[in-house]
Amino acid sequence: MASAVRTTVLLHAPMFSNTPIPRALRALLLDRLWPLSGQQATGQDADHFEAYFAHFEQERSPAVLNHHAIQTFADFLTMLEIICGNPTASLTAIRSLVAAVNPGLCSDQPKLSASIELVVRLWLLVSVRITMPARQHTYLLEVSLPWPDNLSLADVLQRHLSQPPPPAASQVSTAERFSDHLNVVDMRKITGVRVLWTANLGEHLVSQDSCAYLFHHVAALKRIRDSVSCNAFLPPAFVDETLATINLLVPLEDGRCNAWLGGEIARLSLDDQLVYRKAANRSKRGFVFWQDRLLAFSDAFDRARPSGLAQWWHDRRDMGRWWNYWLVVAGLGLTVLFGLVQSVTGILQVIGVGGGGS
């Protein structure tokens, strides 16, 4: 009885607040967001999800309170249960179901839409957009998936994110592999690409303005994979391949990448579960869901050329070109050096002749 009362008190706490989420409520949220069965739940406690709950805290800022229909954690979970429990229901049907359970949440449609978007962002770590801007920017559509009234959330995710391309559309040979140089350290040292970490799966592997976006909430992603309630929205194969893309770009067998990743985790408070990776699969055929973005990533990297001496020094992708470049640099350097020596020698001779004449 006391436990039930305590749970009720926790759930009716304000959703939007600067007060940190207590440990008991974190555990309750994990069980409701991504329920596990039997042995799967062993060792799965809130301590493994520090990065996720830091993200959760950012999303519940009091500054956005007036933009949302939900007010308490109970409201949040009510909306979650409706969306999760009705994978084939259209957005219009979801609104009707919410109204049937809690009419107060539907009194303001823009606020209801904002709360539905928030629930999806915190549950599946995907940004959806119910009300799209009049001018739809390509990048915005890539990272914020449009959810029209007549489609279900499962349809939206399959259409824009977790649907593998038709086999005929792939031009990849089974023998082709991604280059060993396609990793975060070589990309940064050779072409100056900066890695930006994201909590939005829709932004994963997007390149924009010399930046590459990588998803980092792997603890939450693994929990999504293991929770049967999420399988209709994000298939386990899609989740596993997402993790494989991180293994590819931050290879465990590369000490430089491990050192860089450790620094990023410490500097940015990233999900520390990133360190638990598997050996990279570099076969292009090994990726179906993310193949298009990876190929675009790889092509852009292959076409990029160094812009300074430091980047040329690190660019070992084509050793023939590397040797040619540095032989030219060495030749120019020696020419300048010999010219300088000759000039200095000539000056000294002039000084010596002039001194002897006096």
- pLDDT tens, position by position, 65-104: 999 999 999 999 999 999 999 999 999 999 999 999 999 9
Using pLDDT thresholds of 50, 70 and 90, give the confidence band for residue 141: low
75 contact partners, CB below 8 Å, separation of at least 6: 15, 69, 102, 105, 115
- Tell me what the pLDDT averaged over the chain comes to: 84
**Distance between CA 103 and CA 11 in Å, rounded?**
19
User: How many other C-beta atoms are found inside a 10 Å radius of the C-beta of residue 58?
Assistant: 9
Average pLDDT over every residue of 38-59: 80
User: CA dihedral in degrees (183, 188, 193, 199; nearest 10)?
Assistant: 60
pLDDT tens by residue, 1-37: 556 667 888 899 999 999 999 999 999 999 999 999 8
The predicted structure's pLDDT at residue 341: 63
Kindly state the helix (H) or strand (E) to which residue 69 belongs, with its residue range.
Answer: none
Q: Which of 150-154, 277-281, 313-317 has the lowest mean pLDDT?
A: 313-317
Alpha carbon distance 251, 280 (integer Å): 6
Q: For the residues 294-305, what does the mean pLDDT come to?
A: 77
- For the cut 70, the answer to whether the pLDDT of residue 315 exceeds it is no
pLDDT at 114 over 70: yes
Name every residue whose Cβ is closer than 8 Å to that of residue 77 and which is 6 or more positions away in sequence: 11, 29, 32
Q: Please check the confidence at residue 307 and state whether its pLDDT lies above 60.
A: no
Residue 175 has pLDDT above 70, yes or no: no
Tokens 């520090």 correspond to 50
| Domain boundaries of the chain, sorted by first residue | 2-160, 176-304, 311-345
Residue 118 pLDDT: 97
pLDDT of 130:
92
* pLDDT score at 323: 44
In this prediction, residue 314 has a pLDDT band, given cuts at 50, 70 and 90, of very low
Buried b (16+ CB within 10 A) or exposed e, 224-244: bbbbebbbbbbbeebbebbbb
DSSP tally for the chain: helices H, then strands E: 15, 5
Which pTM value belongs to this model?
Answer: 0.82
- Average pLDDT (114-120) is 97
